[in-house]
Structure 1
Amino acid sequence: MLFITNRIPKQGMKSIAGRDFEFDLENNNVANSVFYCKVNKTGRATEVMSGNFLTEVRDSGYEQVLLYCHGFSNMPEDIFKRAMTLQSLFDNKQNKHVLVIPMIWPCDNDKGVVKDYWDDQRAADSSAFAFARVFDRFLTWQGSTESKTNDIPCLMRINILAHSMGARVYRGALESWEKNSLKDGVPFLFRNSFLMAADIVNEALEKGKSGELITHASKNVVVYHASDDLALRASKAANLKNGVASRRLGHTGPEDLRKVSKNVFSIDCDEVNSVYDFPKGHSYFASDKEGEEGGEVFKHMLQCITAGRVFPDDPNKKTHILQQP
């Protein structure tokens, strides 16, 4: 599995193609550099460098890419496990359709959820510059001819799944990208931006707010939310202590759909989230209850990726309630 990370490896900061890459789980310092890597079936990871990485993506035979930006308190082992589950589900539905690529940022390895939360929130914000560079690299790659055939530009569509605090990383990366590299706003890079149980305020996507750039960078912004998400209840309580009173986007969906761009869609997952992730109801986007088939949230994501539309039969529809069949 290919992956991108700004976690500092035990081997040090100097990138060398082909070197071993081992995560230093005790070091959650944030690197401004990013490492383009590959992990084999035995779990051995090596650094491959960006050019080789993107060439392998393009020549993989897959039609689309799904970048997966994980949530807080996730160690690399957890991230790879969920990414491989997603990859298996996509491949079972349609082989060589969606290639999952984790973007791994440095969560803390401390004991204690509260301390982890604040440490990870700082790490998420500090990771913005590094992943802005990733987005810029993907944009350049789309218009290049970096492949074995070296004769056509990249035609792969790119999607992103930002889960929980990963939405904070995604939002910050777009802000950093615009501030440091762009003059006229962020470009249209993503076919679908899936904000899954997003741990940002529920007004974030409104015009003039911190997450507005997500709507500019995407054809579709699909917000999956559940009011009984226990992890986000804890997040809300933690943020209240820090003077942030607004509800979380992953709890309620957008505060007011009239104030967001027309490409924002709200998907209520109240009836399925705890079925797929009991009891927290927070990581409900992959397997179904038995863990063998994709659940209703996964199926909806796949339909968006395949069709390029959130509601193909009703382009004016903006909200939906997912239910068990």
Structure 2
Amino acid sequence: MLFITSRMPTVNTEPALNADFVFDLTNNSSSRSFFCCRRERKGKCVEIGSLALLQALKAAKVRQVLVYIHGFANLPDDVFAAAGELQKLCDRKKTGEILVLPLIWPCDADLGVVKDYWDDQKAADQSAFTFARVMQKFMAWRNSESHNPEDDPCLKRINVLAHSMGNRVLRQTLENWRRYDQPQGLPLLFRNTFMVAADIVNESLHKGEPGELISHASRNVVVYYASDDLALRASKVSNLKNAEASRRLGHSGPEDMARTPKNVYAIDCDEVNTRYDPPRGHSYFRCGTRKGEPGVVFEHIFATLLSGRVFPGDEQRKSSILELG
């Protein structure tokens, strides 16, 4: 599995590539550099460099790439397990369609949920500077005549699935990318951006707010939310201590759909989230009630990946409720 990380290794061999890349789980500070790697098996990762990773993505026999940005309190093995599950579900639906590419940022391994939460917020914001460099590196590679000549361009469609605090990473990454590298505005880079159980304030996607940039960079922005998501309920309590009283986007969907860009859609997952992920109801976007069987949230995500349309039968529709079949 290919992956990109801002998490430091135990031994940093820069500028040489690290043939034995081992995550430093005691360090949750984001590296200023990013590392492009391949996971060959459990416990064995090899740094391959950005050019080799981008060329591997271009050469992969799939039509689309799904960048997966994980949430709070996920260590690398947790991320690989989730990404592997996503990959299997995609392959089961249609072989040769999707390649899942995890972006791994440095969550904390300390005990204590509140301490972890604040440390992870800081790490998310720090990682955004690093991942903004990834965005700019990709654009330079894509526009390079030597790597992508006119007769051999990279035609892969790029999508993003951000879960929980991964949405904070995404929001801050795009804000930093625009500020430092794209002052004239962000390019339309992503076909679909899926924001699942987003741990950011529910006004984030409104016009004029920092999260509006997500809609600028995406053809479709799909928000999946559930009011009984217990992890986000704890998140709201934690944020109250920091004088941030607004509800989370993953709890209520956008505060006011009339104030969001026209390419933002909201999907209510109240009927399925705790059935798929009891009792927290937070990680409900992969399997359903049976392991290995896709749930209705994943089914909707995959159908959107295939068609590029959130509601193919009704182009004017902006919201929906997902229910068990």
> What displacement does 1:42 show?
4.4
Counterpart Cα distance in 1 of 2:130 and 2:199: 20
Give deviations 1:129-154, integer Å, cap 9, x for gaps: 10011122223333346769994110
The answer to whether 1:221 aligns with 2:256 is no
Report what 2:193 is aligned to: 193
Counterpart Cα distance in 1 of 2:321 and 2:274: 15
Counterpart Cα distance in 2 of 1:276 and 1:142: 39
The answer to whether 1:70 aligns with 2:74 is no
Report what 1:60 is aligned to: 60
Aligned amino acid, residue 21 of structure 1 = F
Aligned amino acid, residue 251 of structure 1 = H
The answer to whether 1:25 aligns with 2:29 is no
SS at match of 1:294: coil
Contact (CA 8 Å) 2:28, 2:107: kept in 1 or not? yes
Report what 1:205 is aligned to: 205
The answer to whether 1:308 aligns with 2:308 is yes
Contact (CA 8 Å) 1:139, 1:189: kept in 2 or not? no
The answer to whether 1:286 aligns with 2:286 is yes
Report what 1:129 is aligned to: 129
Counterpart Cα distance in 1 of 2:280 and 2:45: 31
Aligned amino acid, residue 89 of structure 1 = L
Counterpart Cα distance in 2 of 1:44 and 1:220: 36
Deviates more, 1:185-194 or 1:37-46: 37-46
Counterpart Cα distance in 2 of 1:143 and 1:183: 18
Counterpart Cα distance in 1 of 2:57 and 2:264: 28
Aligned amino acid, residue 215 of structure 1 = S
Pairing of 1:158-173 with structure 2 (within 5 A): 158-173=158-173
> What displacement does 1:43 show?
3.7
Deviates more, 1:179-188 or 1:66-75: 179-188
SS at match of 2:41: coil
Aligned amino acid, residue 10 of structure 1 = T
Change (3 A) 1:10 1:232: same
Counterpart Cα distance in 2 of 1:20 and 1:53: 16
Q: With structure 1 as the length reference, what TM-score do the two structures score?
A: 0.97
Counterpart Cα distance in 2 of 1:82 and 1:301: 15
Change (3 A) 1:61 1:149: farther
Report what 2:120 is aligned to: 120
Instruction: Give the share of equivalent positions with the same residue, in percent.
Output: 54
Change (3 A) 1:114 1:199: same
Structure 2 stretches lacking a partner, 5+ long: none
Change (3 A) 1:149 1:216: closer
The answer to whether 1:100 aligns with 2:100 is yes
Give deviations 1:58-80, integer Å, cap 9, x for gaps: 11111100000000100000000
Counterpart Cα distance in 1 of 2:63 and 2:139: 17
Contact (CA 8 Å) 1:145, 1:152: kept in 2 or not? no
Pairing of 1:2-17 with structure 2 (within 5 A): 2-12=2-12, 14-17=14-17
Change (3 A) 1:84 1:31: same
Deviates more, 1:141-150 or 1:236-245: 141-150
Structure 1 stretches lacking a partner, 5+ long: none
> What displacement does 1:102 show?
0.4
> What displacement does 1:291 show?
1.2
Contact (CA 8 Å) 1:90, 1:98: kept in 2 or not? yes
Counterpart Cα distance in 2 of 1:99 and 1:122: 29
Report what 1:249 is aligned to: 249
> What displacement does 1:15 show?
4.1
Pairing of 1:129-148 with structure 2 (within 5 A): 129-144=129-144
Counterpart Cα distance in 2 of 1:55 and 1:18: 19
